[in-house]
Amino acid sequence: MNKVETKNQEPQKRGKFRGLKDIWIRMKRNKLAMMGLVIIIVLVLVAIFADVIAPYGFADQNLANQYQTPNAQHWFGTDELGRDIFSRVVYGSRVSLRVGFISVSISMIIGVAIGAVTGYYGGRVDNSLMRLIDVVQALPDTLLAIAIMAALGPGLTNLMIAVGIAAIPGYARLVRSSVLSLKDQEFVEAARANGSSDYRIILKHIIPNCMAPIIVQATLGVAYAIINAAGLSFIGLGLEPPTPEWGAMLSGGRAYIRDFPHMTLFPGLAIVITILALNLLGDGLRDALDPKLKR
């Protein structure tokens, strides 16, 4: 029996690894997607090793060095308090990426759960939950996040909650549409015939088959989350000083943009490069996971 089970399991494992290998091969053919992946990996490493990379602390002030343009001691110059902008941008990557990934995790977990339940059961459950999603989606993401931040107050945790809640409808609708097309498939009917519970069918059979669009949506969602978080910080509803956050740095430097443009240039470039890399990676994943492109 053990030999038979091993033989039956080996093709399944090979199939999974083969599928991942095929996806990776298609990803490698897309040079822009690989460039985006490399940039994201570099940004993650910068965030992890910010304490080693940054030459100064993000809150270190020296009024004798204020308003310095980029030079050998301060690569990105200094701000109105003499703080090193390069160090603040480096530490800001840690904050922005944390907000992006955690807020997307919040919205993805809740949105996937709502979408799977509504799509699978339909009827009153579908109508009640989706009408609630419609109410949430009626408000623009940024406006909803502003309302939540105004109610909860500033802070990193509240910022991630606000951005995450604002993105829930997108995941709920995406998963619901996928579940509606999958719940009547033969493999789901076979699972029901074998006595599997609804919970097991949703968790083990339906959601795994929805992962491709969810992964793409999550990758792009990190970019939108970082933009929303930067926007909230820009208008004063994000993190409180002196915490380095790219949007807050833009807000702090806008009063000096004519005389000292470097104060807004480098935080802005950090946002642009991060969002561009995430979008390139998301587009590449969408193409790599598209069944129509399999050969």
> Domain coordinates of the chain in residue numbers?
82-289
SS3 78: strand
Nearest to 264 by CA among 9, 57, 96, 79: 79
pLDDT for the residue numbered 273: 93
SS3 43: helix
Least confident of 2-16, 17-31, 153-167, 277-291: 2-16
169 cis-preceded (ω within 30 degrees of 0): no
pLDDT for the residue numbered 86: 93
pLDDT for the residue numbered 18: 54
pLDDT in tens, 122-146: 888 888 888 888 888 888 888 888 8
Nearest to 179 by CA among 208, 150, 143: 208
74, 85 contact by CB (below 8 A): yes
Backbone angles phi, psi at 84, to 5 degrees: -70, 120
pLDDT in tens, 238-295: 777 788 888 888 888 888 888 899 999 999 999 999 999 999 998 888 888 765 554 4
Question: And the tokens for 161?
Answer: 């909650």
pLDDT for the residue numbered 12: 44
Taking the C-alpha atoms of residue 96 and residue 159, their distance in angstroms, rounded to an integer, is: 11
Average pLDDT over residues 41-45: 94
Q: Is 201 buried (19+), middle (13-18) or exposed (0-12) by CB count in 10 A?
A: buried
Backbone angles phi, psi at 78, to 5 degrees: -130, 165
pLDDT for the residue numbered 204: 86
- The hierarchical CATH code for the domain 82-289 is 1.10.3720.10
Nearest to 180 by CA among 113, 122, 119: 119
pLDDT band with cut points at 50, 70 and 90 for residue 4: very low
Average pLDDT over residues 61-76: 89
pLDDT for the residue numbered 11: 45
29 pLDDT more than 60: yes
Q: Following CA atoms 169, 175, 181, 187 in sequence, which dihedral angle do they give, to the nearest 10 degrees? A: -160
- What b/e string do you get for 173-189 counting C-beta neighbours within 10 Å, with b at 16 or more? bbbbebbeebbeeeebe
Nearest to 173 by CA among 212, 120, 115, 113: 115
This prediction's pTM: 0.81
Rounded percentage of the chain residues whose pLDDT exceeds 70: 92
Taking the C-alpha atoms of residue 269 and residue 150, their distance in angstroms, rounded to an integer, is: 28
* More confident position, 36 or 9: 36
Residue carrying structure tokens 């579908």: 126
pLDDT band with cut points at 50, 70 and 90 for residue 35: very high
Average pLDDT over residues 58-70: 88
pLDDT band with cut points at 50, 70 and 90 for residue 6: very low
Q: Following CA atoms 281, 286, 288, 289 in sequence, which dihedral angle do they give, to the nearest 10 degrees? A: 130
pLDDT for the residue numbered 15: 47
Strand ranges, E, within the chain:
none
What is the average pLDDT score of the chain? Answer: 84
Residue carrying structure tokens 């795994």: 208
250, 274 contact by CB (below 8 A): no
Report the phi/psi class of residue 249: left, alpha or beta, with left for phi > 0 and alpha for psi in -120 to 50: alpha
pLDDT for the residue numbered 274: 92
